[in-house]
Amino acid sequence: MSNKIDSPALTDGFHLVIDALKLNGLDTIFGVVGIPVTDLARMAQAEGIRYIGFRHEQSAGNAAAIAGYLTQKPGICLTVSAPGFLNGMVALANATTNGFPMIQISGSSDRAIVDLQQGDYEELDQLNAAKPYAKAAFRVNRPQDIGIGVARAIRSAVSGRPGGVYLDLPADVLSAALEAGAAKHSLVRVIDPSPRQIPAPESVQRALELLASAQRPLIILGKGAAYAQADADIRAFIERSAIPFLPMSMAKGLLPDDHPQSVAAARSHALAQADVVMLIGARLNWLLGHGRSPQWSAAARFIQIDIAPAEMDSNRPIAAPIVGDIASSIASLLAALQPGRIKPASSWIDELTQRKQRNAQQMRARLAANPNPMDFYSALGAIARVLEQHPDVYLVNEGANTLDIARNVIDMRAPRRRLDCGTWGVMGIGMGYAIGAAVVSGKPVLAIEGDSAFGFSAMEIETICRYRLPVVVLVFNNGGVYRGDDINRGGGSDPAPTVLMAQAHYEKLIEAFGGAGYHAADPQTLARTAAAALASGKPALINCVIDPKAGTESGHIGNLNPPSTIARAN
Ligand code: ADP
Ligand code: TZD
């Protein structure tokens, strides 16, 4: 260790950081070590903090972000200066975009040299580089400010709309000695870091009046609603108001997907025909067609519950904004809800039910087909049946077709169990989210990964094996980005831009680290191996062979690809 202080009357910056985290109940660090934070990780482990060491900072950051989402406490990611810091930035920006609380703590090089650009080892003006991507960014320049710096980072990460916070710790601040008594005194325990934000009573009344006037009301649950952990009250409000609901991807399971009021199977009809829509912790962004026609009725009126006041009217006028935290807002709505006041028209419920039944029948037919090689539906149908027996399993999901089809085929039955690409549509969250979820929950995780998506964080299977985490990775190997059958339009021997190796035996990767590798080319083998792997509680990877011709370009969002204006490159 670099900085040995024997005198009990002295401490140093390293220990102060650890004490500040512990004082605030932060007991896990996800990171990659190197100059100047190696000793910070060692000492944290010595002081009882769990340190999970990754192979790449992006995955460490993703683990921290999802840990924050699941626990409502900021997940901590530790990075080295400059390149390590930048590797973590995608995860920090992703956390900010999705509203997950995390803190990236990074060591940094000598300020005097960095600011004069004199060429230090791993030189970078990290604070300014972080600012555009973080909800907040701070640098601690004096060891006596570590306590207040950590406190500011914690409060910034979890209060209001949660997000990613950057905390810069220069090497000399970490190694600086302090008198122990004064150091202890400088620590800050953050009181009530995300205080309740009780909505104005008139905003609650306005919303209830609008709902009472509706014939075709609809509730949309977003991941903000899942994050809020107000599960029982949300369910009570939906059931007492009898309003049909639609979960956004990560809100699936907040109420079970087989709940009679779920209209997930009639999604487009519900969006297009609803006259009053209540958004609970969901933004009207691209995932909801920006609230515009033709996806939505131009006459629909909106109620939005959100902790961020500026979210209101961001894409479409909000007739009844409720600014508050979701737990307090739903409690206020429940308290003011008079029985029978809100009455969805029976014709609305009937038409949604008919649509649901029709679409469910089509889906059943697709799932029943048993093509050889497997397509996404037959493989996911097999997995859906396995997960019916394991409602507590965390499901991580990324890819394009693998993501979109799994979202539709796999029902969720418990809240906050579905963790996916989220608001940014980012690839590379897979192993980081899987590790973060396994570490904070201690429960099994199934990561369903497109073969391309998996590649972005694949090396972390060594991390999964090293920490013996109960993570089962399912690689949907159709030999390509979206699909594996494209050809080189120039006629050369190089593969087409979307093509990967369909013959790849991904299961051999995990065998290199002592994990269990499986190969599945039919639904029965897939179901059997997935069930056995989940039951084992040990690291496993299943190479799941999917037809290279299965899948559509960009999955369900192919319409977002810009069309070429000339026909030259067909
Ligand atoms: P989805 O992608 O599931 O539609 P979004 O990420 O777009 O969800 O929206 C989540 C919204 O929830 C954000 O606007 C965020 O401000 C809000 N939010 C997060 N936590 C809370 C909370 N505890 N109370 C109220 N709103 C919240
Ligand atoms: N890079 C990053 C960081 N995020 C992205 N979303 C992309 C690239 C582009 N991209 C997608 O939007 S989906 C995808 C990429 C590369 C992979 C799709 O292929 P897959 O899944 O094998 O993971 P399917 O199931 O075969 O479609």
Which residue from 223, 233, 246, 418 has its CB within 8 A of the most atoms of ligand 1, so it is best to mutate? 223
Name the amino acid, one letter, at 555: G
Residues 428-438: what's their mean pLDDT?
99
- Ligand 1 neighbours (beta carbon < 6 A): 98-99, 161, 222-224, 227-228, 248, 250-251, 281-283, 285, 287, 306-308, 311, 325-326, 423
Report how far residue 443's alpha carbon sits from residue 325's, in angstroms, rounded to the nearest whole number.
28
C-alpha angle 416/421/422, rounded to 5°? 65
- Is ligand 2 within 6 A of the CB of residue 321? no
Does the pLDDT of residue 98 top 70, yes or no? yes
- Rounded to the nearest angstrom, the distance between the alpha carbon of 210 and the centre of ligand 1 is 22
Does the pLDDT of residue 498 top 80, yes or no? yes
Q: What is the pLDDT of residue 369?
A: 87
In whole angstroms, what separates CA 3 from the centre of its chain? 38
Every domain of the chain and the residues it spans: 10-186, 201-352, 369-555
Question: pLDDT digit string (tens) for 12-40?
Answer: 999 999 999 999 999 999 999 999 999 99
The CATH classification of domain 201-352, taken from the options 3.50.50.60, 3.40.50.740, 1.10.287.620, 3.40.50.1220: 3.40.50.1220
Does the pLDDT of residue 569 top 80, yes or no? no
- Is ligand 2 within 6 A of the CB of residue 402? yes
- Rounded to the nearest angstrom, the distance between the alpha carbon of 133 and the centre of ligand 1 is 18
- Rounded to the nearest angstrom, the distance between the alpha carbon of 271 and the centre of ligand 1 is 19
Q: What is the pLDDT of residue 568?
A: 62
- Rounded to the nearest angstrom, the distance between the alpha carbon of 317 and the centre of ligand 1 is 18
**Topology agreement, domain 10-186 and domain 201-352:** yes
How many residues appear in the chain? 570
pTM: 0.97
- Rounded to the nearest angstrom, the distance between the alpha carbon of 6 and the centre of ligand 1 is 48
Report how far residue 547's alpha carbon sits from residue 485's, in angstroms, rounded to the nearest whole number.
9
Question: pLDDT digit string (tens) for 406-420?
Answer: 999 999 999 999 999
- Rounded to the nearest angstrom, the distance between the alpha carbon of 213 and the centre of ligand 2 is 43
| Beta strands 516-520 and 445-450, pairing class | unpaired
Which residue from 374, 452, 454 has its CB within 8 A of the most atoms of ligand 2, so it is best to mutate? 452
Q: What is the pLDDT of residue 565?
A: 82
Question: pLDDT digit string (tens) for 187-246?
Answer: 999 999 999 999 999 999 999 999 999 999 999 999 999 999 999 999 999 999 999 999
Question: pLDDT digit string (tens) for 43-52?
Answer: 999 999 999 9
Across 370-374, 526-530, 541-545, least confident range = 370-374
Does the pLDDT of residue 8 top 80, yes or no? no
Q: What is the CATH number of domain 10-186?
A: 3.40.50.970
What b/e readout covers 324-350, taking b as 16+ CB neighbours within 10 angstroms? bbbbbbbbbbeeebeeeebebeeebbe
Could you write out the three-class secondary structure of 306-318?
A: ECCHHHCCCCCCC
Q: What is the pLDDT of residue 130?
A: 98
Q: What is the pLDDT of residue 567?
A: 66
Structure-block tokens of residue 140: 């601690």
- The per-residue pLDDT of the chain, averaged, comes to 96
Does the pLDDT of residue 121 top 70, yes or no? yes
- Is ligand 2 within 6 A of the CB of residue 506? no
Residues 125-129: what's their mean pLDDT?
97
Q: Do 104 and 29 contact (CB within 8 A), yes or no?
A: no
Ligand 1 atom nearest 98 alpha carbon:
6
Residues 462-484: what's their mean pLDDT?
98
Which residues are registered as beta bridge partners of 518?
A: 542
Residues 123-140: what's their mean pLDDT?
97
Does the pLDDT of residue 70 top 70, yes or no? yes
Does the pLDDT of residue 1 top 80, yes or no? no
- Rounded to the nearest angstrom, the distance between the alpha carbon of 99 and the centre of ligand 1 is 7
Does the pLDDT of residue 5 top 70, yes or no? no
Question: pLDDT digit string (tens) for 257-310?
Answer: 999 999 999 999 999 999 999 999 999 999 999 999 999 999 999 999 999 999
Ligand nearest to the CA of 286: 1
Across 363-372, 423-432, 540-549, least confident range = 363-372
- Is ligand 2 within 6 A of the CB of residue 160? no
Question: pLDDT digit string (tens) for 307-355?
Answer: 999 999 999 999 999 999 999 999 999 999 999 999 999 999 999 999 9
- Rounded to the nearest angstrom, the distance between the alpha carbon of 320 and the centre of ligand 1 is 17
Residue 482 Cα distances to 129, 238, 243, 549, 555, angstroms? 33, 37, 37, 9, 7
Ligand 1 atom nearest 249 alpha carbon:
3
- Rounded to the nearest angstrom, the distance between the alpha carbon of 540 and the centre of ligand 2 is 23
Q: What is the CATH number of domain 369-555?
A: 3.40.50.970
